[in-house]
Amino acid sequence: MLVCPSCGQQTRAQSRFCPNCGRPLDGRLAPGTLLGKGDYRIVRSISKGGMGAVYLAEDRRAFDRLCIVKQMLDYYDPTDPEERRRAEERFQEEGRTLAALSHPGIPRIYAFLSENGRYYIVMEYVQGENLESFVTHLDETGRVVTNKRLPREEVVRYTIQACRILEYLHNRPRPVVHQDIKPANLILESQLGEVRLVDFGTARAEIPPGANLGDGTKSSIYGTDGYAPPEQYRGQPVPRSDVFALAATVYHLLTDDDPREHPFKWPKLNTLPREIAVALERALRESPDQRISARELRQALEALSTPNRTLEAFTFPGGTQIRTVGSLPALADEHWDAARSFLYKGDFQRWLRDI
């Protein structure tokens, strides 16, 4: 049986419309829909994939603070109770995973809801662009959008930040493997200019190979083709699987050569500066035992981020760069929140050490 998300009426699994209120039974949430006994109000749809839909919402308990509502969709056979049970367990596991994590690079979870036969995760809204917007990609209408390339030093800085997130995940008592790192799942937060890692959905492990997630991306039970390492295709993900996927993401950002078009091949790797190419090659090795860790990748890239090396400029949000100590105070005053974050994480210390 299906449950109408609008009025709660039960109906046959094959029904396309609610016999009581006439609403479509595709599960979409219309703007203005209230969830959580009226605590959350849907503003608009953000994206829809094969397993879940993401909405921007307002938290009415917190002065209409913006938040994200992720809705579990009926990607399983609605006539099979066992499939539904497994899907619900996977969605609940995603909520439990987020609830156990506490890191500035990972969105916080606010609530887990079950209403009218559907499940929802309410989490922190990260305002900004995902890194896919900086490579050639298809927009929501299927139109090819030419990339606005990120400067190389910014890609390196964001990768270092992503490595720190992975170090946190991988060094937990029970290591967490994200399993789907790619440009679309890394958001560049607009206020501080920092990278945030999103989409901790473990349900992807059960999607049939080649399923279309609705955004033009061909995904499989192994993550996303082109970014996922070989061991994920065997159902054996390990922490260094995320390092492979991050390195594939960095390759994509630096070259605009989409790895989804030729998985496990990196034809433009030798066009990158030697130090970067060597670091990525070590992260992209076939065997996870021969691959470097997130910490080792971070250290390799940090060694490039000094003024006397190829990546000599320090970049603030908005693209403003400095190359001298004398320029630092004025720019820090102008971008105080970002400067405070750089100082806290040791970015200034690493940049200044070789001057």
Tokens of 50: 């094969």
- In the chain, the amino acid numbered 346 is G
Query: Which helix or strand (DSSP H or E) is residue 70 part of?
Result: strand 65-72
CA atoms of 300 and 156, how far apart (whole Å): 10
The residue annotated as part of the active site, out of 39, 74, 139, 180, is 180
Q: Residues 6 or more apart from 81 whose CB is under 8 A from it?
A: none
Concerning whether 180 is annotated as a catalytic residue, the answer is: yes
**How many CB atoms are closer than 10 A to CB 304?**
18
CA atoms of 217 and 199, how far apart (whole Å): 15
Identify which of 211, 206, 234 has the alpha carbon closest to the alpha carbon of residue 221.
Answer: 206
* Contact (CB, 8 A) for 167 and 316: no
CA atoms of 337 and 190, how far apart (whole Å): 12
CA atoms of 327 and 35, how far apart (whole Å): 49
Q: Residues 6 or more apart from 325 whose CB is under 8 A from it?
A: 352, 355
Paired strand residues for 113:
120
**DSSP for 192-231?**
T--EEE----GGGGGSPTT-B-SSS-BEETTEETTTS-HH
Catalytic amino acids? Answer: 180
